[in-house]
């Protein structure tokens, strides 16, 4: 627990990691509370039909113990992979907790994945067990060659064909289960990278990864936990942002976590959910926040009572930041990380760490710097690559079955994020773009985030993405793909107006020389723009 203070420098300088030698995520987030406060609410489940059920820590312990016992009886043990193709449900938490208690490795996968993406992850991970839904089973059925490693398929929607009933396995299994005594450095979780560039890679994490996340969660949520705190995110729990930024930290801190079934983000529905359940702490990815800008007076209209809003996964930008301050009544605390090493930078209004346009400063316990190609930190104001120094408890162990990629991820003791940034004299870091997304035009280096942020400040623009388009004279020109607000109509006059808007607010070399109006942007399951798809379109 971080000591509550308003002095960032004091907080950062005084922090020391206290990672125990033996540690298990499942025991920490479930059994620890179940022993002392078994009736304490852990998860509030809002079903697809609108029904609500509150799950206690005692219920989570009983169900996860029985599931772990049932899986052990089927021969599933230490180090074996359990694939989880599930939405936000209590069963998802139960499956994760059971996997950790078994000493197995949980492999979360998003229900939005198609059969090819699922086949790759199942095959690459060598998963022995798959726990899913009826919808997930239909996707698995479309896989031509089922992986040989897969021995057991369970469905939370009941037995169907080759899938057994998840609930029946739990009810038929003994209640007594002794968790595996795991080390903090033992493998626990494998999350596949989004795959915005190249094939997805399985980032293998140790049990300590949750402890590594906690300072960042506390910073960005202004010293969580506080009285009446209740956490929610529309983000998929299969993503590191949903799982380790919300679900697991909430369970660790004893803060109730709301589970919902949003198959597609809808601003009206999101605001209604937050109001209905009195959500106090929300993680909204930048794309979701930008979509919420279409709502008029959401705080007054819906009666929102938010204490904190965290955002990460892509740059938030100044326009969305200022909108959040006015429309939601809170400063949005932006944070930064990636699948391999998450939650290492953050803003926090409470401790004075906020600067529009910047991600924030290093979270206590993490050393983050801007480095050059040789791995040397660069002076403030110099463009370089955002890097994190090892050892760090939030850092991944390795890429699964890919040692060359693991080695290439580091230069000396610095983990290279592949993201370009600039630090100012006060240590605030501004994200510029992926190293392969930075645009080179007429000798200038242009980060897409700044241009996109300016574009969505135009009253006709809802969303925007920017790429570099090859050009024989300038090397590249800036091209923008723009999603308009419902009341706006695409035209060349509007495109000219938007170009001039950006030119006046940024510079003559940064404005988009080409604008293409589109109905939607290609996004990963985590809400990140897939720029390689846009580059392929030209």
User: 3-state DSSP call for residue 310?
Assistant: strand
Whether 167 maps to a domain, the answer reads yes
Please give the model's pTM, rounded to 2 decimal places: 0.87
State the pLDDT at residue 438: 73
Asked if residue 151 belongs to a domain, the reply is yes
Q: What range does the domain containing 473 cover?
A: 437-537
Of residues 435 and 194, more confidence is placed in: 435
Among 12-16, 65-69, 367-371, 447-451, name the one with the lowest average pLDDT.
Answer: 447-451
DSSP 110-135: -TT--HHHHHHHHHHHT-SEEEE-HH
Choose the final residue of a domain: 175, 207, 239: 207
The arithmetic mean of pLDDT across residues 124-144, rounded, is 95
For residue 410, list its beta bridge partners.
415
Two tokens, residue 56? 């206690």
Cβ neighbors of 206 (< 8 A, separation 6 or more) are 184, 185, 186, 187, 188, 393, 397
Q: Pick from 334, 338, 364, 330: which is nearest to 348 by CA?
A: 334
**Residue 150 within a domain:** yes
Assign residue 509 the CATH number of its domain.
3.30.300.30
Mean pLDDT to the nearest integer, 255-271: 93
- Torsion, CA 432, CA 443, CA 441, CA 528, rounded to 10: -20
Strands 444-446 and 439-441: antiparallel
User: Do 100 and 30 meet the contact criterion of CB atoms below 8 Å apart?
Assistant: no
* Residue 29 Ramachandran class (φ > 0 left, ψ -120 to 50 alpha, else beta): alpha
Greater model confidence, 58 or 318: 58
Confidence class of residue 445 from pLDDT cuts 50, 70 and 90? low
Q: Which of 178, 207, 236 is the last residue of a domain?
A: 207
Q: In CATH, what number is assigned to the domain containing residue 99?
A: 3.40.50.12780
**Beta partners for residue 377, in sequence order:** 371
Final residue of a structural domain among 150, 183, 207 = 207
Q: Are 259 and 90 in contact (CB under 8 A)?
A: yes
* pLDDT over 80 at 474, yes or no: no
Within a domain: 454 = yes
Q: What CA–CA distance (Å, rounded) separates 424 from 396?
A: 28
Residue 388 CA to residue 416 CA, distance in Å, equals 7
Closest Cα partner for 482 from 473, 491, 470?
491
Question: How confident is the model over 239-262, as a mean pLDDT?
Answer: 96
First to last CA, the chain: 49
Q: Can you say whether the dihedral through the CA atoms of 363, 435, 413, 246 is positive or negative?
A: positive
Query: Is the per-residue pLDDT at 442 higher than 70?
Result: no
At 484-505, the pLDDT tens digits run 999 999 999 999 999 999 988 8
Residue 82 lies in a domain: yes
In a domain, 127, yes or no: yes
Crossing angle for the helix pair 448-455 and 492-505, to the nearest 10 degrees: 120
Q: What is the DSSP letter of 243?
A: I
Burial class (CB in 10 A: 0-12, 13-18, 19+), 75: exposed
User: Residue 515 above 70 pLDDT?
Assistant: yes
The Cα 37–Cα 29 span in angstroms is 12
Q: How confident is the model at residue 29 (pLDDT cuts 50, 70, 90)?
A: very high
pLDDT confidence band for 196 (50 / 70 / 90): very low
Structure tokens at 121: 């992850």
Query: Residue 201: which pLDDT band, with cuts at 50, 70 and 90?
Result: very high
Domain total in the chain? 2
Whether 326 is covered by a domain: the verdict is no
Pairing, β 361-362 against β 341-346: antiparallel
Q: Where does 364-490 have alpha helices with state H? A: 403-408, 448-455
Average pLDDT over residues 312-341: 90
pLDDT of residue 444: 65
**Which CA distances in Å does 49 have to 46, 262, 273, 330?**
8, 12, 13, 31
Instruction: Return the closest-CA partner of residue 521 out of 467, 469, 474.
Output: 467
Eight-class DSSP state of 373: T
Is 87 domain-assigned?
A: yes
């Amino acid at each position: 627990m971080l000591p509550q203070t308003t002095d960032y420098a004091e907080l950062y300088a005084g922090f020391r990691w206290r990672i125990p030698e033996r540690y298990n995520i499942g025991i920490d987030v479930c059994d620890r509370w179940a022993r002392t406060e078994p009736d304490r609410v852990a998860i509030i489940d809002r079903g697809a039909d609108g029904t609500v059920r509150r799950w206690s820590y005692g219920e989570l312990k009983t169900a996860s113990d029985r599931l772990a016992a049932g899986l052990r009886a089927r021969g599933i043990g230490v180090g074996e992979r359990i694939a989880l193709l599930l939405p936000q449900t209590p069963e998802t938490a139960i499956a994760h907790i059971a996997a950790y208690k078994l000493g197995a490795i949980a492999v979360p996968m998003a229900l939005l994945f198609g059969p090819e993406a699922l086949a790759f992850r199942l095959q690459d991970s060598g998963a022995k067990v798959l726990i899913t839904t009826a919808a997930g089973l239909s996707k698995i059925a479309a896989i031509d060659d089922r992986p040989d490693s897969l021995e057991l398929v369970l469905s939370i929607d009941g037995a169907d064909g080759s899938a057994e009933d998840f609930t029946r396995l739990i009810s038929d299994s003994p209640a007594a289960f002794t968790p595996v005594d795991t080390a903090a450095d033992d493998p626990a979780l494998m999350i596949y990278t989004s795959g915005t560039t190249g094939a997805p890679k399985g980032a293998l994490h140790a049990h300590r990864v949750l402890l590594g996340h906690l300072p960042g969660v506390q910073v960005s949520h202004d010293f969580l936990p506080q009285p009446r705190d209740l956490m929610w995110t529309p983000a998929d729990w299969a993503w590191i942002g949903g799982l380790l930024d919300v679900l697991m930290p909430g369970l660790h801190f004893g803060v109730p976590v709301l589970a919902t079934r949003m198959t597609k983000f809808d601003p009206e529905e999101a605001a209604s959910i937050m109001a209905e359940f009195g959500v106090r702490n929300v993680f909204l990815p930048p794309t979701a926040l930008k979509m919420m800008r279409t709502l008029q007076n959401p705080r007054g209209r819906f009666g929102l009572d938010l204490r904190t809003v965290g955002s990460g996964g892509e740059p938030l930008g100044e326009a969305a930041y200022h909108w959040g301050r006015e429309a939601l009544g809170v400063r949005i605390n932006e944070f930064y990380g990636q699948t391999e090493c998450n939650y290492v930078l953050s803003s926090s209004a409470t401790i004075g760490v906020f600067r529009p346009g910047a991600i924030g400063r290093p979270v206590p316990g993490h050393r983050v710097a801007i480095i050059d190609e040789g791995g040397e930190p660069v002076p403030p104001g110099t463009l370089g690559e955002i890097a994190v120094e090892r050892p760090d408890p939030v850092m991944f162990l390795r890429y699964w079955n890919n040692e060359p990629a693991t080695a290439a991820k580091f230069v000396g003791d610095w983990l290279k994020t592949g993201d370009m940034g600039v630090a100012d004299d006060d240590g605030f870091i501004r994200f510029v773009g992926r190293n392969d997304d930075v645009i080179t035009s007429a000798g200038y280096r242009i980060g897409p985030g700044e241009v996109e942020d300016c574009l969505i400040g135009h009253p006709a623009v809802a969303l925007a993405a920017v790429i570099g388009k090859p050009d024989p004279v300038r090397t590249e020109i800036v091209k923008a793909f723009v999603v308009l607000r419902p009341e706006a109509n695409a035209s060349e006059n509007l495109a000219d107006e938007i170009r001039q808007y950006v030119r006046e607010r940024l510079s003559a070399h940064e404005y988009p020389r080409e604008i293409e109006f589109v109905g939607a942007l290609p996004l990963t399951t985590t809400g990140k723009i897939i720029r390689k798809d846009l580059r392929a379109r030209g």
